[in-house]
A and B are shown apart, each in its own frame.
Chain A
Amino acid sequence: MSTETTSGTGPADTQEMTFREAIRLALREEMERDEDVFIMGEDVGKFGGVYEVTGDLVEQFGEARVRDTPISEAGFMGAGVGAAATGSRPIVEIMFSDFIGVCSEQIINQMAKNRYMFGGKTEMPITVRTTEGGGSGAASQHSGTLHTWFAHFPGVMAVAPGTPESAKGLLKSAIRSDDPVIFFENKEIYGQTGEVPLDENYTLPIGEANVEREGEDVTVVATQRMVGESLELAEELDGQVSVEVIDPRSLYPLDTDTLVESVKKTGRLVIADESPLSYGTHAEIGMRVMENAFFSLDAPIQRVGVADVHIPFSPVLEDEVLPHASDVEAAINRIV
């Protein structure tokens, strides 16, 4: 766990909390700080969100700022874009990232393009929070990992943290940012705990990776659920293989320098991310390293992800397609 802290009142104060609670804390602090910030989405109010992330926020901020919407993703995503362009600072919750299928127009052709098309004459201070990932038997339409789409598409930023601390720090930066940020929350790690700074001025810059654990033999670049799993694996392998684990945290912009520095040291790279393998996040990370550290590489780069299929329902099938620590271990064994 990173020990980064910032100045402010009680900078050293941290509290153990879940990933879910860290996100709720970030939302609460930013809504207290700036009254232009509001949340809208399906059942984010009294119901508290399907994954209980917004929880009791409606009690503190009221129904106008924690707004339940009709089941109209295209409509309220677009309303978020329009509100952001006119002085509001919306946080739009899309319950499952798979549902972005319903409203991608407003992201792709409006949110991502308006600033550029208008010659820089508008800002787009919107944050889209959404969930992704398999592991709970939710089947193909509720388990996708889609962040690559938006890391690829010019004009939106894509953030996908792997620890409670980075979730808090990055979500606060996303909300404060004048640019559109899509914030991906892996639902399997909502209950994962970690020490989180309580300082309300604590933020983490979007576009900075974090070396979660230092090592000498191989670099594992892991995202979301794979961060924790890779850290545990690294502990298990301690003494045999020295594994460095890096969470890029932000996929676009991507902190190429930190990744390249690490590979220059270790000479070996495994990329573990739950998205499908073809044309993906793995490919981009691998390519950036190739471009900048080709002569430091001692072995072929290894990818751990999903083999270009959807996430199936049956537990045995789902377990088969999802990446696990055992897959990272096998990838390490192939090259170390």
Chain B
Amino acid sequence: MVVIDIETEDGQREALRRMLTIRAFDTKAGDLFADGELPGFVHLYVGEEAVGVGACSALEADDYITSTHRGHGHCIAKGLDPKKMMSELYGKADGYCNGKGGSMHIADVDAGMLGANGIVGAGPPLATGAALTAQLKGEDKVALAFFGDGAVAQGQVHEAINIAATWDLPAVFVVENNQYGEGTPVEKQHNVQNLSETAEAYNIPGFTVDGMDITAVYEAVKEARNRAADGQGPTLIEAETYRYHGHFEGDQQPYRTEEDIDIWKDRDAIESFKQRLVDAGTITEDEFDEMKAEIDEQIETAVEEAKSAPYPDPSEAYEDMFNATVPEISQFSSQMRADGGEDR
């Protein structure tokens, strides 16, 4: 992946590009879902772009991240290819998981992206494990876990942070507080005011930052990464943000109003970052429009290619379970295939 050095002008433009790419990708994914093009569940990251891009900008190329069911933004922030992501959303053979995973399970382990996740709260223990590998092997790598405000209520999240804290593992825990877990507001799920407060219980630093401000996220994660890499253990960072779309596409959202959403849209992270870059002379309005047009075209191409890409061969369904070959799968599957083959 290309590492973003957000302290340079090039890096700032690249960060803006990734935020725009996330928005374009997920807006498109929402449209495609509405058109009945995409199977399964689609959870969109629109509105939360500053968190993923700000955090990943503070990482080195070899660092690990773990993600959530709302993972497209993390993927793009980590430098994954929107084309292969789009193919995965369509269940095509050239997708990141060859069509086996779909939106909720995009992974690129070689790029340090240890997987989106369908189980709320399952990512942090995996990040703790990746950080353990780094510590055991003496590698200069850090593992960062993204997880939601809802996930903070999961026991395994606390267990993972406590282990990382106790063993001084090079991990960073980033809570994306988008104010809701599905339809339930954060204050109905937690008794603390700020979700970073529990850091005190693990005796690690905890911060709450403005998740609509990419610089604030970047700076907090940068400091946390430095601490982690320096052997001083994990940090818990809460980024306050908002999702503009429903929990999943198709969500009727009885739990909030358009006005609630508009309050956050007025503080839009892309808009404000762009304005800062324009004011600083890092980018002109024309260059910004050009960038946007380029990205839109890139996403359109990704969709076209994904649509025309082939589906995996049905026999692929029986591959990838084990490294070893087990007789059961081939026996049962050849029986099932011989059975149902004709009328499929």
Q: A314, B328: Cβ atoms under 8 Å?
A: no
Highest count of chain B CB atoms <10 Å: which of A71, A319, A324: A71
CB closest chain-A residue, reference B149? A71
**Which residue of the partner chain, among B97, B99, B184, contacts A68 with CB atoms under 8 Å?**
B184
**Which residue of the partner chain, among B121, B182, B255, B332, contacts A308 with CB atoms under 8 Å?**
B332
**Which residue of the partner chain, among A309, A316, A327, contacts B312 with CB atoms under 8 Å?**
A316
Tell me whether A136 is interfacial, beta carbon within 8 Å. yes
Tell me whether B333 is interfacial, beta carbon within 8 Å. yes
Tell me whether B231 is interfacial, beta carbon within 8 Å. no
* Chain B residues closer than 8 Å to A277, beta-carbon distance: 328, 332
CB closest chain-B residue, reference A333? B339
Tell me, rounded to whole Å, the shortest Cβ–Cβ distance linking B40 to chain A. 3
Tell me, rounded to whole Å, the shortest Cβ–Cβ distance linking A45 to chain B. 8
Q: Encode B83-125 as 1/0 by CB contact (under 8 A) with A.
A: 0000000011000010111101100000000000111110000
**Which residue of the partner chain, among B183, B321, B332, B337, contacts A46 with CB atoms under 8 Å?**
B183
Tell me whether A139 is interfacial, beta carbon within 8 Å. yes
Known: A141-B105, A308-B328. A75 touches B155 (CB 8 A): yes
Q: A98, B119: Cβ atoms under 8 Å?
A: yes
Q: B339, A47: Cβ atoms under 8 Å?
A: no
Complexed CA–CA distance, A330 and B344 (Å): 13
* Chain A residues closer than 8 Å to B151, beta-carbon distance: 71
Q: B91, A315: Cβ atoms under 8 Å?
A: yes
CB closest chain-B residue, reference A52? B252
CB closest chain-B residue, reference A138? B40
Q: A315, B39: Cβ atoms under 8 Å?
A: yes
* Chain B residues closer than 8 Å to A43, beta-carbon distance: 182-184
Tell me whether A212 is interfacial, beta carbon within 8 Å. no
Known: A43-B183, A307-B332, A308-B332. A74 touches B155 (CB 8 A): yes
* Chain B residues closer than 8 Å to A70, beta-carbon distance: 150, 153, 181, 184, 188-190
Known: A71-B151, A320-B317. A313 touches B340 (CB 8 A): no
Tell me whether A194 is interfacial, beta carbon within 8 Å. no
Tell me whether A80 is interfacial, beta carbon within 8 Å. no
Known: A43-B182, A137-B91, A317-B91. A68 touches B41 (CB 8 A): no
Tell me whether A119 is interfacial, beta carbon within 8 Å. no
Tell me whether B278 is interfacial, beta carbon within 8 Å. no
* Chain A residues closer than 8 Å to B91, beta-carbon distance: 137, 313-317
Tell me whether B338 is interfacial, beta carbon within 8 Å. yes
* Total count of chain B residues near the partner, CB < 8 A: 54
Q: A314, B329: Cβ atoms under 8 Å?
A: no
Known: A43-B183, A71-B154. A317 touches B100 (CB 8 A): yes
Tell me, rounded to whole Å, the shortest Cβ–Cβ distance linking A294 to chain B. 23
Complexed CA–CA distance, A33 and B340 (Å): 47
Complexed CA–CA distance, A68 and B168 (Å): 36
Complexed CA–CA distance, A43 and B183 (Å): 6
Q: A317, B99: Cβ atoms under 8 Å?
A: yes
**Which residue of the partner chain, among A72, A309, A321, contacts B154 with CB atoms under 8 Å?**
A72
Tell me whether A239 is interfacial, beta carbon within 8 Å. no
Tell me whether A102 is interfacial, beta carbon within 8 Å. yes
Q: B120, A71: Cβ atoms under 8 Å?
A: yes
Q: B328, A278: Cβ atoms under 8 Å?
A: yes
Mark out the residues of chain B between 44 and 74 whose CB falls within 8 Å of any chain A CB in the assembled complex. none
Q: A139, B329: Cβ atoms under 8 Å?
A: no
**Which residue of the partner chain, among B118, B328, B336, contacts A139 with CB atoms under 8 Å?**
B118
Tell me, rounded to whole Å, the shortest Cβ–Cβ distance linking A137 to chain B. 3
Tell me, rounded to whole Å, the shortest Cβ–Cβ distance linking A116 to chain B. 26
Tell me whether A42 is interfacial, beta carbon within 8 Å. yes
**Which residue of the partner chain, among B100, B156, B337, contacts A313 with CB atoms under 8 Å?**
B100
Complexed CA–CA distance, A321 and B320 (Å): 14
Q: B312, A137: Cβ atoms under 8 Å?
A: no
Q: A136, B40: Cβ atoms under 8 Å?
A: yes
Mark out the residues of chain A between 74 and 110 whose CB falls within 8 Å of any chain B CB in the assembled complex. 74-75, 98-99, 101-102
Mark out the residues of chain A between 298 and 336 whose CB falls within 8 Å of any chain B CB in the assembled complex. 304-305, 307-310, 312-321, 323-324, 326-327, 330-331
Mark out the residues of chain A between 107 and 139 whose CB falls within 8 Å of any chain B CB in the assembled complex. 136-139
Highest count of chain A CB atoms <10 Å: which of B40, B312, B317: B317
* Chain A residues closer than 8 Å to B105, beta-carbon distance: 139-141, 313
Q: Encode B2-39 as 1/0 by CB contact (under 8 A) with A.
A: 00000000000000000000000000000000000001
Tell me, rounded to whole Å, the shortest Cβ–Cβ distance linking A190 to chain B. 15
Complexed CA–CA distance, A325 and B329 (Å): 21
Complexed CA–CA distance, A139 and B317 (Å): 12
Tell me, rounded to whole Å, the shortest Cβ–Cβ distance linking B152 to chain A. 9
- Which residues of A are at the interface with B, using a C-beta cutoff of 8 A? 42-43, 46-48, 50, 68, 70-75, 98-99, 101-102, 136-142, 277-278, 304-305, 307-310, 312-321, 323-324, 326-327, 330-331
A-B contact pairs, 24 of them (CB 8 A): A42-B182, A50-B182, A70-B181, A70-B188, A70-B189, A71-B151, A72-B154, A72-B155, A139-B40, A139-B100, A139-B101, A140-B101, A141-B119, A277-B328, A305-B332, A307-B335, A308-B326, A312-B100, A312-B317, A313-B101, A315-B91, A317-B91, A317-B312, A319-B314
> Lowest 10 CB-CB distances: which A-B pairs, in order?
A137-B39, A314-B91, A313-B102, A141-B118, A137-B40, A314-B99, A330-B339, A307-B332, A70-B153, A47-B183
A320-B315, A327-B340 given; name 13 further pairs at CB < 8 Å.
Answer: A70-B150, A70-B188, A101-B119, A102-B119, A102-B121, A102-B156, A139-B104, A278-B332, A309-B333, A310-B321, A312-B100, A315-B91, A317-B99
